[in-house]
Structure 1
Amino acid sequence: MKRVLFVCSRNRLRSPTAERVFGERRDLEVASAGLAPDAEEPVTAELLDWVEIVFVMEKAHRARLARRFRPHLRRARVICLDIPDDYGFMDPRLIDLLNAPPESVS
């Protein structure tokens, strides 16, 4: 079972939507977190030590994650989904973007 983390800024819209959408899969253990100081669930070193794959919503999240947690990302693959902060929680358009084929992910 793969351990996956979805990361956005405040863990209120995009990453919790992804956690809910992919949390139903039997082949994944899923969590979500945010990088902002006021995130609902903040990214922690322990969380990053647990995961195998980190999906960030924006390139800025990848850079911030690397700056703050580089030693804890050695085992995790970080993938940027390039999803802007334009969607509400469980927005059908956001769900469509999250379910896009892997080749459209950078």
Structure 2
Amino acid sequence: MKDSAPVKILFVCSKNQWRSPTGEAIFRNVEGISTRSAGTSRNAKHPINIKDIRWADLILAMEQKHLSRIKADFRDETRYKQVHTLNIPDEYQFMNPDLIQLLETKTAAILNELKL
């Protein structure tokens, strides 16, 4: 992975306030990974847009409702994308240690499964 382009991961939650920014922050300095975060809500700090979708190699949604919204709003753009749900409920604040552990464990499992 060192000689190849980084894997671009987009973390998505509702308001881009706690969960997805935590994912972006903890993987930001990991070698071989580039990160962004966005929210599905129109009131999100950074509402997800087509540029985010096109940029990402891997889209990790916190809940099934986020995945459904992404696929509904960006059907054509996500057709050939790796899109997964992490199943992390909205009960953690930014950089909560339990949230960090969940994100690291679940993201690593997906990256290993995809051999990224």
Structure 1 residue 74, shift from structure 2 partner? 2.5
Equivalent positions of 1:11-22 (< 5 A) are 11-22=16-27
The alignment's TM-score, normalised by the length of structure 2, stands at: 0.85
Q: Secondary structure at the match of 2:42?
A: coil
Q: Which runs of 5 or more structure 1 residues have no equivalent in the other structure?
A: none
The one-letter amino acid of 1:80's match is T
Q: Tell me the alpha carbon deviations over residues 79-99 of structure 1, each in whole angstroms, 9 at most, x when there is no partner.
A: 100000000000000001011
Fraction of identical pairs, as percent: 37
Partner of 1:93: 98
Structure 1 residue 75, shift from structure 2 partner? 3.2
Asked whether the equivalents of residues 87 and 94 of structure 1 are also in contact (C-alpha less than 8 Å), the reply is yes
Q: Deviation above 4 Å: which 4+ runs of structure 1?
A: none
Q: Equivalent of 1:102, from 76, 85, 109?
A: 109
Q: Which runs of 5 or more structure 2 residues have no equivalent in the other structure?
A: 1-5
Asked whether the equivalents of residues 52 and 75 of structure 1 are also in contact (C-alpha less than 8 Å), the reply is no
Asked whether the equivalents of residues 6 and 54 of structure 1 are also in contact (C-alpha less than 8 Å), the reply is yes
Partner of 2:3: none
Whether 1:7 aligns to 2:12 is: yes
The alignment's TM-score, normalised by the length of structure 1, stands at: 0.93
Q: Secondary structure at the match of 1:83?
A: coil
Find the aligned partners of 1:53 and 1:43 in 2 and give their Cα distance.
Answer: 14
Find the aligned partners of 1:9 and 1:77 in 2 and give their Cα distance.
Answer: 19
The one-letter amino acid of 2:85's match is C
